[in-house]
Amino acid sequence: MSETIVQENNKHRNLGITDEQVIKMYRTMVLARKFDERALLLQRSGKVNFHVSGIGHEAAQIGAAFALEKQKDYFLPYYRDYGMVLSIGMTVRDLMLSIFAKEEDITSGGRQMPGHFSAKQYHIVTGSSPVTTQVPHAVGFALAAKMKKQDFVSIVTFGDGSSNQGDFHEGLNFAAVQKLPVIFMVENNQYAISTPLHKQVACERLVDRGLGYGMHSVQVDGNDPLAVYKVVKEARERGIKGEGPTFIEAKMYRLSPHSTSDNDLAYRTKEEVEENWKKDSIPHFKTYLEECGLWTEEQELRMQEEIKQEVNEATKYAEQAPFPKPEEALTHVFKEQ
Amino acid sequence: MSETIVQENNKHRNLGITDEQVIKMYRTMVLARKFDERALLLQRSGKVNFHVSGIGHEAAQIGAAFALEKQKDYFLPYYRDYGMVLSIGMTVRDLMLSIFAKEEDITSGGRQMPGHFSAKQYHIVTGSSPVTTQVPHAVGFALAAKMKKQDFVSIVTFGDGSSNQGDFHEGLNFAAVQKLPVIFMVENNQYAISTPLHKQVACERLVDRGLGYGMHSVQVDGNDPLAVYKVVKEARERGIKGEGPTFIEAKMYRLSPHSTSDNDLAYRTKEEVEENWKKDSIPHFKTYLEECGLWTEEQELRMQEEIKQEVNEATKYAEQAPFPKPEEALTHVFKEQ
Amino acid sequence: MAKISYIDAISAAMKEEMERDENVFVLGEDVGVKGGVFGTTRGLHEQFGEMRSMDTPLAESAIAGVAIGAAMYGMRPIAEMQYGDFMLPATNQIINEAARIRYRSNNDWECPLVIRAPIGGGIFGGLYHSQCPESIFVGTPGLKIVVPSTPYDAKGLLKAAIRDEDPVLFFEHKKCYRMIVDEVPEEDYIVEIGKSDVKREGEDVTVITYGLTVHFALQAAAELEQEGISTHVLDLRTLQPLDREGILKAAEKTGKVLIIHEDNKTGGVGAEVSAIIAEELVFDLDAPIKRFCGYDVPAMPISPPLEKFYMLNKDKVKQAIKEMALF
Amino acid sequence: MAKISYIDAISAAMKEEMERDENVFVLGEDVGVKGGVFGTTRGLHEQFGEMRSMDTPLAESAIAGVAIGAAMYGMRPIAEMQYGDFMLPATNQIINEAARIRYRSNNDWECPLVIRAPIGGGIFGGLYHSQCPESIFVGTPGLKIVVPSTPYDAKGLLKAAIRDEDPVLFFEHKKCYRMIVDEVPEEDYIVEIGKSDVKREGEDVTVITYGLTVHFALQAAAELEQEGISTHVLDLRTLQPLDREGILKAAEKTGKVLIIHEDNKTGGVGAEVSAIIAEELVFDLDAPIKRFCGYDVPAMPISPPLEKFYMLNKDKVKQAIKEMALF
Ligand SMILES: Cc1ncc(C[n+]2csc(CCOP(=O)(O)OP(=O)(O)O)c2C)c(N)n1
Ligand SMILES: Cc1ncc(C[n+]2csc(CCOP(=O)(O)OP(=O)(O)O)c2C)c(N)n1
Ligand SMILES: [Mg+2]
Ligand SMILES: [Mg+2]
């Protein structure tokens, strides 16, 4: 019995994750959550116009990001992926500059909505709002890897509703035919705005779609960062070895409303939401670290304090940062000579 | 042993097809073939500009059409479906008027290319060239059936390559979610112009895509009209009973070049094509009728003569029919008062 | 007559048409239980049930394509695109299918379909929640395109669109939704598609515009009146087919034409309006035909100073009219 | 200098650019083994292998979208759309993605992509193998649009497009493919994108056109010379960004402007050309600005008398120039 527990507690080591790394994973999850909570507050107090929350998605995002290689692999995240972009180089300050739409915003210089990540230095590929368009782009990066014989993969994430767009189908099929090193990860949070999964699809599991592409496909508990790490790591290896793409379905629940413009209680019950809070990955992962003997309440308090300060400073910095000059709206339509 | 043969020979009766009907199926297959051969000739001799052939597809088309209800169900055929449209009301004369692009052409008054079927009187829904757009249209007809509580189904056909278009994915998914009475039949002829199936898809069977839609799916030998009849009949029943859509993959081989503009020997071998001629459904179905004792060489000769005359007359009629007046190009942009 | 908002006029038109004709139904993303992300379809779900206010999967090409099929059968679908920015996956269905069905079948089939989409900026929507996609579709024969500026027009035009036997794109400026309120009769009425409307009579300068910018023009005109400049304001209302006669009459009236739209200038419908005038009235003009439109950038940025710089407003429009008057 | 056809000029441009830069590759339906349905990519498969002349699945949105991803990585994809009529499933990828990548990332990412598509009619292609889709894309900032009329321009413009750092739509008139032959230098050269070209100097009437109709204009001009009418012919070559200066200069030259294109008139690029002139030169004109274009019908029918009625040709163009000259 105690055997089993020890093994369970060594789950991360069995996956090749060091103790330091696993703590970093936890810290990044909390950081993403704290940023997100602050952003919600900032929106509510009228300091920023809009926020789209990733609360409930952090475990999957961080599990995936840590399994990949920073500044080598290419990342095509979607709008909830704060956990992912924070894992691979972006800072809370970057995120704050984006939600305040300031000149220094690295994602777009204040042009795009928050959550529309972009940063070439971190191999984060610019994204747009029309859902699923990034899926074929990721395939294009993977195609380049194959053509140029480079050993990177691309990863692209998107929502469950978005798996019904034509671009999902066309992108996965293309990648499968060409056996490209790309990882498709759907963050299945049970809703597309107000529309529940059963009004979006009639299949049992989204991952069932993989068969139709002849694609290796795997469903995973999106609340378990180590489980996600494992399947993404394996997917990366398959990709690098020339064994083709992988389709991953990470199951979770969207704990926040769709965005700050949404009233989710118009279409789901408080009880349902509360029920799902019980599965929140953050306290569970904390318990795991504690059970591994890697984490104490003291460390937790210190980290919480640090993160609070980080978020405070980032907020302050971004709030005070200058807006872009109006005429900036006219630049970079085409390459300027 | 002789037991088995009798049973095999009664295959059509077991399916509820009368002897008269099964002969009609055979006749329509031959009629479609003869029209097609003539159209190829007319194009080669410069009398018409273009023909897209359905040779090799007749069995599936006729099997499907005979399993459905004329002027009740809605048909959304694609450009190779001569066998289907001839089964449900269109005549060889209609087809000839279309390839000659004459004023009397019921499909478009000489506006559209041949193979772009349309005839409201036969519930044949107007189609275009961009592939797969008809798939969501068929879903729309089925949605109307559900909303208006009508007991018809819609059937839509398309090619294997076309199953990679976004509209395939979006259409099937929509139908499955709403459990609509629609039959999707892919005529898998192994090629999309020059592109062989393995460069189009990486799945084993196209029908594997059904799982991802939670859709009843079945693969069938497209050279066997009775097998196709059976699965389409069952699909129709499922639809009418409210059990939802069916995805059918009919496997066959495109025996002609893609169209009269294509030289298929640039990308496939003569041997491959010849090998597939051995599976041609027409002689096999004839043998079946003979073995059932329903068909003699004399009947065959008589039928061939009749069909020849039918095709001759249609050709002559269409050739002599007047073209539309030039100014006709300007009518029917919007409803005219 | 009650005073209602632009958005309520749109909701009322749908509700009344659904009551009048059981073939009318709405479909789109989140249009059912939630009543739409802007609330345009609120109440329809309760009144007409989930089949007639249908939450669809997230797939615009299917929304358009399924609606086309249903329309060919004889239904009267109203397909909602959540934002104009997101209707582009449906372009092929709209242009190659809906718009060509009557013509290609030589009048055998028809496609009485309405596609509604909110357009325009000024709401901090950034590049992909602020677009004016109308110029992509203008120039597609077989398609009618409508953009109302007032609650009265919105209700009357939407009813006309629903009753039309051909496909109609119905664009709603989201900034008008709650901002524009006016009197709308309780009785049933329609506003004919294809007719422009003189929203203000004037003598010095003719402004030709549509959508949100109609209001900027009217506000500017009111102020300019004080300064002795009299502005004639023509609201196109329908972008396709354009009201040639109405345009020429308005242009002739003052001989000075200023075309205004939020959509970016190059290739916008303003070019067509200008070309029509240049084709017919070139010697009757007292000034060059000017266009005052959105900048030619991929779309409107979200950062407040950038958005403000991009957006037209009363003051910018006033300045443009003044310059034209002084020409 | 060798005399080569328009289609061979296009093939040669791709071949030479692929030799010059290993990041250049072509992808599309049937472009590999078969060499394209028109034969534009013939020989590339043998020379460069199946990865650099890639047969793709039948899915235009993926062809564009995958090319966009590869371009962002640093490749130089040339995506072929089998017919202009079939590129509409890729509209969202082209307009919302390719055209906005530089702008939305504030110049961090770029998308050096060429999308080639054959356009135009006169080949008995009917409604869906004859379309001129350019007006759908004109008016999209961030997108360059090129339509060559001669082998020289085709080769030079395609090379320029491949070397461009921004997305370029490259439209080829399929009727020109084998019909138009002229001298093309053996050495490497490019034709700058954004520059129109005076294809014939003249004094009485200015024709502004592009693509196939350039040839009708030149043929008509040659005949009209005999009748004492001198025609100035400007080939736009690039539809976006338009060569404002070149257009104004050509318009000024004669004061009588006739804009000609095969794309249907309403909402076509001719409207923008007219509007530019009306904005700048209205008082220098000796005649109204006329447009002689395709009819406003959903697309060109296949039946020979209907197609003939729809298509422009030398005689119709001659008549139109004559009328303008006599104004
Ligand atoms: C093409 C397109 N259509 C509609 C929208 C509006 N929209 C934004 S998010 C969203 C729901 C997405 O749901 P899902 O894919 O499940 O992702 P989630 O938001 O649940 O993470 C919709 C409909 C959009 N962004 N793009
Ligand atoms: C959207 C679109 N892209 C390209 C084409 C050109 N095209 C016509 S038929 C065809 C191949 C279709 O293959 P498949 O779906 O297998 O049907 P088949 O012709 O083999 O019956 C192609 C690429 C088209 N008609 N529509
Ligand atoms: Mg979701
Ligand atoms: Mg095929």
Report yes or no on A337 lying in a domain: no
Q: If contacts are CB pairs under 8 Å, which of residues 120-139 in chain A contact chain C?
A: 128-131
Instruction: Give the CA diameter of chain D.
Output: 58
Q: Using an 8 Å Cβ cutoff, are A49 and A128 in contact?
A: no
- The two tokens of residue D174 are 């399929």
> Considering only CA atoms, which residue is closest to atom 2 of ligand 1?
A130
- What does each of the 337 residues of chain B score in pLDDT, given as a tens digit? 344 455 567 899 999 999 999 999 999 999 999 999 999 999 999 999 999 999 999 999 999 999 999 999 999 999 999 999 999 999 999 999 999 999 999 999 999 999 999 999 999 999 999 999 999 999 999 999 999 999 999 999 999 999 999 999 999 999 999 999 999 999 999 999 999 999 999 998 999 999 999 999 999 999 999 999 999 999 999 999 999 999 999 999 999 999 999 999 999 999 999 999 999 999 999 999 999 999 999 999 999 999 999 999 999 999 999 999 999 999 999 999 8
CB contacts of B198 in chain A (<8 Å) are 177
Annotated domain spans of chain D: 2-184, 197-326
CA distance D42 to A276: 58
Q: If contacts are CB pairs under 8 Å, which of residues 185-214 in chain A contact chain B?
A: 198-204, 206, 208-214
Provide the pLDDT for residue B2: 43
Amino acid found at C189: Y
CB contact under 8 A, D91 and C92: yes
B114 lines ligand 2 (CB under 6 A): no
Q: Of all atoms in ligand 1, which is nearest to the CA of residue C82?
A: 4
For residue A53, give the CATH number of its domain: 3.40.50.970
Tell me: the pLDDT tens digits for C182-220?
999 999 999 999 999 999 999 999 999 999 999 999 999
Residue C228 CA, chain-centre distance (Å), reads 31
CB contacts of A171 in chain D (<8 Å) are 62, 65-66
DSSP 3-state assignment of C172? strand
Q: DSSP string spanning A168-186?
A: HHHHHHHHHHHT--EEEEE
Beta bridge partners of A14: none
Q: Which of B101, B51, B92 has its CA nearest to residue B312?
A: B92
- What does each of the 327 residues of chain D score in pLDDT, given as a tens digit? 799 999 999 999 999 999 999 999 999 999 999 999 999 999 999 999 999 999 999 999 999 999 999 999 999 999 999 999 999 999 999 999 999 999 999 999 999 999 999 999 999 999 999 999 999 999 999 999 999 999 999 999 999 999 999 999 999 999 999 999 999 999 999 999 999 999 999 999 999 999 999 999 999 999 999 999 999 999 999 999 999 999 999 999 999 999 999 999 999 999 999 999 999 999 999 999 999 999 999 999 999 999 999 999 999 999 999 999 999
Q: Which of D89, A173, D58, D129 has its CA nearest to residue B191?
A: D58
CB contact under 8 A, B177 and A201: yes
Q: DSSP string spanning D207-263?
A: EEE-THHHHHHHHHHHHHHHTT--EEEEE--EEES--HHHHHHHHHHHS-EEEEEEE
Instruction: Give how many domains chain A has, as a whole number.
Output: 1
> Considering only CA atoms, which residue is closest to atom 3 of ligand 2?
D86
Q: Which of C178, C224, C186 has its CA nearest to residue C203?
A: C224
Chains that touch C (3 or more CB pairs under 8 A): A, B, D
| Chain D: residue whose CA lies nearest to C239 | D267
Q: Which residue has the tokens 């060109």?
A: D300
- Is the ipTM reported for this complex over the cut 0.85? yes
Report yes or no on A334 lying in a domain: no
Query: If you measure from the C-alpha of residue D75 to the centroid of ligand 2, how many angstroms do you get, rounded to a whole number?
Result: 27
DSSP alpha helices (H): ranges in C85-199?
91, 101-104, 134-137, 151-163, 176-179
CA distance C179 to C229: 26
Which CATH code for domain D2-184? 3.40.50.970
What is residue A124's DSSP assignment? B
Amino acid found at A317: Y
Find the CB nearest C289 among D103, D282, D288: D282
Provide the pLDDT for residue A6: 56
Mean pLDDT of A136-141: 99
The dihedral of CA A229, A233, A236, A238: what is its sign? negative
> Considering only CA atoms, which residue is closest to atom 13 of ligand 1?
A192
* Ligand 1 pocket, mutate which of A61, A80, A133, A162 (most atoms under 8 A from CB): A162
CA distance B181 to B194: 34
Angle at A328 between CA A327 and CA A332, to 5 degrees: 125
CA distance C17 to C14: 5
Spatial neighbors of D99 by CB under 8 A, at least 6 apart, are C298, D140, D141, D142, D143, D167
Mean pLDDT of A156-170: 98
C58 lines ligand 1 (CB under 6 A): yes
CB contacts of C298 in chain D (<8 Å) are 99-100, 103-104, 140-142
Find the CB nearest D69 among A107, A119, A139: A139
Beta bridge partners of C198: C234
Q: Around B332, how many Cα atoms within 13 Å sit in the side-chain half-sphere?
A: 20
CB of D297 less than 8 A from some CB of C: yes
Provide the pLDDT for residue C1: 80
Provide the pLDDT for residue C129: 98
Positions of C marked active-site: 129
CB contacts of C105 in chain B (<8 Å) are 107-108, 118, 120, 126
CA distance D251 to D285: 8
Range of the domain at B67: 3-328
Report yes or no on A36 lying in a domain: yes
Find the CB nearest A166 among B170, B203, B208: B170
Provide the pLDDT for residue D1: 79
Instruction: Give the CA diameter of chain C.
Output: 58
CB contact under 8 A, B137 and C69: yes
Report yes or no on B334 lying in a domain: no
Task: Provide the residue count of chain A.
Answer: 337
Higher confidence at residue C251 or residue A5? C251
Mean pLDDT of C274-301: 97
Q: Answer whether residue A2 shows pLDDT above 50.
A: no
CB of B277 less than 8 A from some CB of D: no
Provide the pLDDT for residue B9: 73
Report yes or no on A209 lying in a domain: yes
Mean pLDDT of A173-192: 98
Tell me: the pLDDT tens digits for A206-216?
999 999 999 99
CB of C95 less than 8 A from some CB of B: no
CATH label, C197-326, candidates 3.40.50.720, 3.55.50.30, 1.10.10.10, 3.40.50.920 = 3.40.50.920
CB of D187 less than 8 A from some CB of A: no
CA distance B76 to B139: 10
CB contact under 8 A, D264 and C142: no
Report yes or no on B242 lying in a domain: yes
Q: Answer whether residue C55 shows pLDDT above 90.
A: yes
Provide the pLDDT for residue B3: 46
Positions of D marked active-site: 129
CA distance B81 to B58: 8
CB of B281 less than 8 A from some CB of C: no
Tell me: the pLDDT tens digits for B242-288?
999 999 999 999 999 999 999 999 999 999 999 999 999 999 999 99
Q: Using an 8 Å Cβ cutoff, are A257 and A193 in contact?
A: no
CB contacts of C310 in chain A (<8 Å) are 329
